[in-house]
Each structure stands twice: as C-alpha cells, then as structure tokens.
C-alpha cells in the first residue's frame, strides 16, 4: 500500500504539478494581506504543502475582492502620479542634488539703487532736521546766524553757553561768500561779553554791508551791552516788548583775596619788572595809581562803544551818552529811545531781510550755526559738560588781570 498525504479537502498534494504550483504562487503574491513563505528547493515539508494548498483555494476569492476595491477607488490624477514618481526617483538616488536659483544681475542693481535712495533720503532728513537745508524752491537765500551766550574770542563749540567771535565772524564771512545769500539775520540771546569779541564781529558785519548784504538783528530774551554793540550797526533791529537790551557801558572787575590768604597763612613773593605788572593779582588790592589807570582803560572802551552806537543808530554822541549809563532797557523803552526799530520775532526779521535783500517770493532760509547734537553732548562721557566747557574758556574766566566786560554785571 502506497503512503499518500491527503489534505483536509481531499486533494492529493503529490499530484500537483510544478506548473500548477507556480500559478498558485502568483495568485498568492497578488492577493492583499499576503503571507509569503520562502523555503529552499527540495526541502518542502508536508505542512508547507498543506499551507500552500489552502492559499491556492482562497486566492480566487481574494483576487475578486481586490478587483472590486480597485473599481471603487477614484481615478488618480496624472499630474499627482508624475510628481510622486519624480519624488520616488529623487529619493532612490544615492546622491541627491539641490538646484539653487541664481540671482540675476538686475536684481542686485535694484537692491543697490534702493540702498542708495534710502541713504540719500536719510542724509536729506538729517541735514534739514539740523537746520542746514532751509526751504526748497528758490536759490535766493537768507542766512541765519545765532549769537547765544557770553561773547568772547577763542574757539568754543556752539551751544555751550558762549558765542565766540571766530565762529560768528566765520559764518558771516561764509554767508557773504555765497553768491545766493541776499541778507543775513543775527538771532541774538546774549548778556554781552568781551569788547574785543564784539569789535571783531562788528568788522565782519560792516564788510557784509559793503558787499551789499543787509544785516538784520532779531533780539530774543536778552541782547545787552556787547550784544547791543554788535546790534547797533545793523540795517534793522527787531526786539520783543519784554526783551532786555541796552546796558551801554564797560566794566572791569578785580578780585582781592588778601584777607583770605592772610587767614589761611598763604604768603606770596612777587618779583616784577614794572609797577603795574601784577595789577589785578588776587593776592592784593589795587593801589590808587592802578585804580586811576583802570578807570582810564574802561573809559577808552566806553568811548568806542558810544561812537559805535551813535554811528549805527544815526544819533549824536551826546544823545547816546544820556542813555549810556549802563542801565538795561526793555524792548518797549528801547523802541521809544530809538535803540531798536520795531517789535517782532525771528520770522518778522526774515521777512524784513527778504524785503531789504530784494528777494521775490518765498526765500530759502539757511541756518549757519544751529547747535549740533555733538556739541550739546560734549563732555557726556564724564557726565559733567560744564567742566569740559571750562577748559575752553579758562583763559577768560580765570584771567589773572581781571575781566574787562561790556556785559551785564
């Protein structure tokens, strides 16, 4: 009796040919949720044959179910399929490469031009914000020059409480050199200062007038003593009714610390070549001869002051001397006395400057020496700007010979 293995459904496994086995294998590979068993040839066990037989019987049913599922699925988008294929091909590549877009030369030029435009607009905003640009629309200019603080010779940055003759004179000179400037406005807020500084500024004012450039003064809170000295030769003077002006006169101050030195036990030995060489030293008071000499120096400066006012305001010297006893006048009183021409602010002075300068239409206003931020912040590193400023004016404020001033005491 031959030994035969029969499966549960009565099918003779030995009668299965190789061709039929291969067909069964193909059916199993296409069925969903397939289960694949790989064994070496020539070593197929009875259990393996039974398992394969069961899959072959169920394969037709599985194929029919897969066909139904495929029919129910919506058709695939060809473009989407193409993108997926490209994606698969890129992922399957062993060395993927990324293509970079190159910027054209035109884009770089556009970016460069945009940066230049931004920088240019920023510079214009800074220039006009600081007051250097003025109004656009005409080439005819009016130059505004500020005289703010105590007047003295020397080189001190603007905006620190001092108005130096070098800076004021330079700006007047620059204004005259500009062929488009038709008039100059001096905006004054000063208690006065050094007669020498006032004289230097006055020389430049007169030079401007000789070149046909009218000079107009706009007084603010204070324009007294040496500040009035430089105002007198102007073509027109505006003041506010409450402006303090006048104070026509000269003062020379001396300090005597001999009592303090004696109390502190401080003694000096002075070797000098002449009797007046240590005049003004704080270690002693003035002798009678020195006092008399000091009075004569003050009066010399005073006479020059009177002459300046008389010539500038078309007044006689005697009339000026009646007013020139050092007193301060309000703007209202100064107008009555003929020391100013009219009431008005800076813009009234600009209008008058345009009129006297023969400007038609709206003038272009340029500010020659408006205080700069860098000047105002000078000394900020140390936190004591007054100390930094004193370094510039030490020669004047700490003069061993006293101070000769055309200034409100």
At a CB cut-off of 8 Å and minimum separation 6, what does 321 contact?
A: 306
Show me where the domains of the chain are located: 137-251+296-407
What residues pair up with 285 in beta bridges, in sequence order? Answer: none
Cα 118 from Cα 130, distance rounded (Å): 18
Q: Which residues participate in catalysis according to the annotation?
A: 225, 277
Do residues 215 and 234 touch, judged by C-beta distance below 8 A?
A: yes
At a CB cut-off of 8 Å and minimum separation 6, what does 408 contact?
A: 191, 192, 222, 224, 225, 244, 247, 328
CATH number of the 137-251+296-407 domain: 3.90.226.10
Q: Would you tell me the crossing angle of helices 165-177 and 195-210 to the nearest 10 degrees?
A: 10
**Measured on CA atoms in the order 139, 209, 185, 366, is the torsion positive or negative?**
positive
Do residues 165 and 190 touch, judged by C-beta distance below 8 A?
A: no
Q: What is the pLDDT of residue 109?
A: 87
Cα 306 from Cα 321, distance rounded (Å): 7
Q: What is the pLDDT of residue 186?
A: 98
Tokens 């091909």, residue located: 89
Cα 290 from Cα 277, distance rounded (Å): 10
Cα 90 from Cα 107, distance rounded (Å): 31
Q: What is the pLDDT of residue 112?
A: 86
List the pLDDT tens digit at each of the 409 positions of the chain: 444 444 434 444 444 444 444 444 434 444 444 444 444 444 444 444 444 444 444 455 555 555 555 555 555 555 555 555 555 455 544 444 545 555 567 888 888 888 898 888 877 666 554 444 444 445 899 999 999 999 999 877 766 788 999 999 999 999 999 999 999 999 999 999 999 999 999 999 999 999 999 999 999 999 999 999 999 999 999 999 999 999 999 999 999 999 999 999 999 899 999 999 999 898 999 999 999 999 999 999 999 999 999 999 999 999 999 999 999 999 999 999 999 999 999 999 999 999 999 998 888 999 998 876 655 555 444 444 455 555 455 555 555 555 556 656 5
Mark out the alpha helices in 142-193 (DSSP H runs).
Answer: 165-177
Kindly list the distances between the CA atom of residue 320 and the CA atoms of 112, 140, 256, in Å, as whole numbers in the listed order.
Answer: 66, 37, 34
Q: Are strands 162-164 and 150-152 parallel, antiparallel or unpaired?
A: parallel
Tell me the two tokens of residue 258: 């001999």
Q: Are strands 403-407 and 251-253 parallel, antiparallel or unpaired?
A: antiparallel
For 105-119, give one letter per residue: b (16+ CB within 10 A) or e: eeeeeeeeeeeeeee
Q: Would you tell me the crossing angle of helices 288-313 and 195-210 to the nearest 10 degrees?
A: 20
Backbone dihedral region of 44: left (phi > 0), alpha (psi from -120 to 50 degrees) or beta?
beta
pTM of the model: 0.63
Kindly list the distances between the CA atom of residue 160 and the CA atoms of 117, 151, 233, 379, in Å, as whole numbers in the listed order.
Answer: 35, 12, 26, 11
Kindly list the distances between the CA atom of residue 33 and the CA atoms of 51, 66, 358, in Å, as whole numbers in the listed order.
Answer: 15, 11, 103
Do residues 402 and 187 touch, judged by C-beta distance below 8 A?
A: no
């Amino acid at each position: 009796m031959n030994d035969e293995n029969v499966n549960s459904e009565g099918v003779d496994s030995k009668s299965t040919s190789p061709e039929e086995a291969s067909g069964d294998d193909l059916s199993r590979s296409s069925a969903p949720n397939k289960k694949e068993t790989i064994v070496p040839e020539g070593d197929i066990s009875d259990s393996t044959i039974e398992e394969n037989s069961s899959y072959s019987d169920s394969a037709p049913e599985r194929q029919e179910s897969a066909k139904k599922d495929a029919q129910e699925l919506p058709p695939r988008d060809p473009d989407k399929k193409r993108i997926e294929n490209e994606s698969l091909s890129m992922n399957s590549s062993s060395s993927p490469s990324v293509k970079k877009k190159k910027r054209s030369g035109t884009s770089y030029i556009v970016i460069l031009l945009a940066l230049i435009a931004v920088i240019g607009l920023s510079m214009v905003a800074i220039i006009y914000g600081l007051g250097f640009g003025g109004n656009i629309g005409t080439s005819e200019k009016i130059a505004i020059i500020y005289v703010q603080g105590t007047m003295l010779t020397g080189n001190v940055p603007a905006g620190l409480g001092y108005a130096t003759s070098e800076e004021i004179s330079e700006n007047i000179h620059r204004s005259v050199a500009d062929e488009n400037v038709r008039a100059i406005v001096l905006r004054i807020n000063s208690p006065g200062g050094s007669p020498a500084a006032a004289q230097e500024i006055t020389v430049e004012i007169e030079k401007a007038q000789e070149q046909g450039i009218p000079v107009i003064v706009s007084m603010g809170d204070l324009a007294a003593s040496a500040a009035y000295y430089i105002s007198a030769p102007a073509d027109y003077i505006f003041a506010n009714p409450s402006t303090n002006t006048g104070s026509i006169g000269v003062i020379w101050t001396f300090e005597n610390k001999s009592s303090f030195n004696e109390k502190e036990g401080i003694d000096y030995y002075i070797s000098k070549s002449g009797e007046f060489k240590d005049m003004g030293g704080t270690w002693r008071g003035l002798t009678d001869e020195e006092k008399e000499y000091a009075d004569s120096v003050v009066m010399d400066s005073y006479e020059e002051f009177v002459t300046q006012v008389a010539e500038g305001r078309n007044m006689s010297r005697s009339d000026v001397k009646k007013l020139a006893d050092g007193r301060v006048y309000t703007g209202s009183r100064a107008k009555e006395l003929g020391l100013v021409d009219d009431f008005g602010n800076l813009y009234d002075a600009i209008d008058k400057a345009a009129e006297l300068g023969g400007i038609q239409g709206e003038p272009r206003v340029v500010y020659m020496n408006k205080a700069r931020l860098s000047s105002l912040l000078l000394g900020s590193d140390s936190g004591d700007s007054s100390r930094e400023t004193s370094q510039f004016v030490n020669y004047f404020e700490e003069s061993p010979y006293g101070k000769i001033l055309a200034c409100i005491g």
